[in-house]
Amino acid sequence: MTITITAFERSPDGGKGLARDTRVRWALEEVGQPYEVRLVSFRAMKEPAHLALHPFGQIPTYEEGDLGLFETGAIVFHIAERHAGLLPDDANARARAITWMFAALSTVEPPILELGAARLLEGDKSWSAQRMPLVEDRVRNRLGQLSRRLGDADWLDGAFSAGDLMMVSVLLRLKASGMLDEYPNLSAYVARGEARPAYKRAFDAQLAVNTGKQPTG
């Protein structure tokens, strides 16, 4: 059965890999599964056909036969469980990798998203100068904790896993801010993720949607 995912017809980030379909593309590339992409406009995302797949009117979605999924974490988890390459065989190591997936989405990403929203939507507010350092401190607190846990290891728990895929994807949101540069081991960790051939294929594929140029790889 063919896997079909949805992605922005025109991504808000212009194809920088921050849209959440990139995480799903990356997972599929890591496990060697072909897939098709159905592009949707912002208008189409709010129409009944798409809402039947994603009740909150977002992307990505995942369809395979009679199965329809939404929520990036759930989709990546499903891919990792169904296909070898993203979760260890050992039960305990597998559980730890899944834990890191949840940590990325539930603990590390929320303050990063808050920072992005504060800079984009609140920069012109009279109270922004007082609030921004507090938001930045929350991000740095999480980065410091993660940095200490990673140490000098290449990946979070042994070999690369779905936990690393999600964590690198989350940290990429900070790349333009320069905050990652304050934590050299995290900056190197993200660079290792970006250097993976599967990530490069996923990035190039979503970039091609926004530039109109087909991937060369």
Q: Does residue 216 belong to any structural domain of this protein?
A: no
Closest by Cα among 89, 96, 82 to 30: 82
Q: Are residues 115 and 188 in the same domain?
A: yes
**Which pLDDT score, from 0 to 100, does residue 205 have?**
94
Domain total for the chain?
2
Residue 169 and residue 154 share a domain: yes
Residue 96 and residue 19 share a domain: no
The CATH number of the domain where 79 resides is what? Answer: 3.40.30.10
Q: Are 81 and 9 contained in the same domain?
A: yes
pLDDT of residue 101: 98
Q: Which domain holds residue 75?
A: 3-85+198-211
Note the pTM of the prediction, 2 decimals. 0.92
Q: Are residues 79 and 172 in the same domain?
A: no
Q: Which residues contact 138 (CB under 8 A, 6 or more apart)?
A: 111, 114, 115
pLDDT digits (tens, 9 = 90+) for 116-154: 777 665 655 656 666 677 888 899 999 999 999 999 999
58 and 142 together in one domain:
no
